[in-house]
A = this chain, B = another copy of it.
Amino acid sequence: MRDIYHEHLDEILVEVERMTHVVSTAVRRSTNALLTADLGTAEEVIAADAQLDVAGETVEGKIFELMALQAPVAIELRMLVAALRMVADLERMGDLAAHIAKITRLRYPAAAIPDELQGVIEDMGRVAQRMVDQAGDVIKTKDVSAAQRIEATDDQMDKLRRSQFRQMMDASWPHGVEVAVDLALLGRYYERIADHAVSMAQRIIFLVTGEMPAAQ
């Protein structure tokens, strides 16, 4: 039987994993809101971000408490520090989903994304959400090769971003500056969500192997 200390440690990772579900939902809903100019959903994503921050602070509080009470060393210390960083990653990912929702709100009742550009945004949203889900799985399974696969998924995000830039820089771009600026920022937000998922995967790899994968 595990002692109370180790039960508390396990609980923390469970709560971090639970945060990945909240972020995954936020990414999916903010993308849907963007593609359908759905102000109600956008507002809900923005409001949910504050709840995610509260959840993050609660987990951080528990981590600090364990650090202070148990003075963990070696693997437990590494785990708690990794958890602290993953909570920070997830809070940031929630902010980015809220930024996506804010672009929907800013352009409402118009749609921010013209029909013929929805494909790339839809793909970016799907890839970002998949990476968040993968990060959640990796927290649960501690599966190093699954963690490494998140980086492979990230390559898809890079490709999408490059394809988006090519579209915008085309001399025949018909959508004007406002759409281009929105798309550039949206692309950046999705890319950063993906980057944070990769960081989380790297923290788990470090936790399991003791070795930090090469910096992105």
A: residues with CB less than 8 A from B are 53, 64, 67-68, 71-74, 77-78, 81, 84-85, 88, 165, 168-169, 173, 176-178, 180-181, 184-185, 188, 215
Contacts and interface: CB of A to CB of B under 8 A. Distances in A.
A91 to B, nearest CB: 9
26 contacts: A53-B215, A64-B77, A64-B78, A64-B81, A68-B73, A68-B74, A71-B71, A81-B84, A85-B88, A165-B181, A168-B177, A168-B178, A168-B181, A169-B178, A169-B181, A173-B177, A176-B177, A177-B177, A177-B180, A180-B180, A180-B181, A181-B181, A184-B184, A185-B185, A185-B188, A188-B188
| Count of identical protomers in the assembly | 2
A19 B134 CA distance: 34
A55 to B, nearest CB: 13
B73 A77 contact: no
A181 B184 contact: yes
A70 to B, nearest CB: 9
A168 B182 CA distance: 11
Given A68-B77, A215-B53, A177 B169 contact: yes
Q: Which are the 6 A-B pairs with shortest beta-carbon distances?
A: A71-B71, A181-B184, A177-B180, A68-B73, A184-B184, A180-B181
Contacts of A176: 177
Contacts of A78: 64
Contacts of A72: 71
A194 B41 CA distance: 30
A124 to B, nearest CB: 16
Contacts of A168: 177-178, 181
Contacts of A73: 68, 71
A121 to B, nearest CB: 15
Nearest to A165: B181
Given A184-B184, A185-B185, 19 more contacts: A53-B215, A67-B77, A68-B73, A68-B77, A71-B71, A71-B72, A71-B73, A81-B84, A165-B181, A168-B177, A168-B178, A169-B177, A169-B178, A176-B177, A177-B177, A180-B181, A181-B184, A185-B188, A188-B188
